[in-house]
Amino acid sequence: MPEGDTVWRAAAKLDRALTGHRLTISDFRVPGYATWDLTGGTVIRTLSRGKHLLTRIDADRAWTLHTHLKMEGSWHVYPEGEKWRRPAEQVRVVLGIQTRKAVGFSLGIVEIVPRQDEAALVAHLGPDLLGPDWDEERALHNLRAEPARPVGQALLDQRNLAGVGNMYMAELCFTSGIHPATPLHLVGDLPRLVRRAKQMLEVNKERAIQTTTGDLRPRERMWVYRRDTSPCRRCETPIRVEMLGEPGRERAAYWCPSCQPADF
């Protein structure tokens, strides 16, 4: 699933492409909204909230288009006449203005709600690491509410803090020397971990190629994520991967057994 910085960039791209323009195309290719037509409406803004995208459109009334990329979704912006880079059968939404189109492919969520109901869509989320509402103390309070919970699971729970996905979870645990299954109450410096999470997303939000090592070369960008069986960059111990989490909601966790011992 995309990380919070990926969604932030998607929102910025849509905002630059559409905000302030009237829609000349409004095409929703999902059953619940196939007959909807917002043509003529003005796009007011697109913003991200954690991993959710909110596009505000003023048509006959104030609406919000809520989309979520889930595992395979993406938004592309194409100049008029340019060939789409993904198959047409994957298209879920097309929003067009006079010179360009924004095309949403394989979106996991597509819904349109009255603007006054927008807040309810994301009310369950914790503070957004890249949002104007970021509140470190509230995020720490949320995390500390379940002291026995494994830190990896807690970081992925968007109700605690919004924006961390599998990649950043693995990289945060490694750079903090913490095994991802460590109970939260045994994490020595939780504020430092949360600050590092914000720092990682802030550093990467403006670039399409994410890195936590500072190296943008292929296979050199991450410390442990998707590097199972490869040697640790610090100690050369083979990186391990294992499915961790609640039954039915397991996620792949990557760690170095030497740098992140399971001593709990």
Q: What's the pLDDT tens digit per position in 38-56?
A: 999 999 999 999 999 999 9
Q: Nearest Cα to 162, choosing from 138, 183, 185?
A: 138
Q: What's the pLDDT tens digit per position in 50-109?
A: 999 999 999 999 999 999 999 899 999 999 999 999 999 999 999 999 999 999 999 999
Predicted confidence at residue 248, as pLDDT, reads 82
Q: pLDDT class for 247, splitting at 50, 70, 90? A: confident
Dist CA 97 CA 71 (whole Å): 28
The catalytic residue positions are 2-3, 51, 251
Predicted confidence at residue 125, as pLDDT, reads 97
Dist CA 93 CA 109 (whole Å): 11
* pTM exceeding the 0.85 threshold for the entire prediction: yes
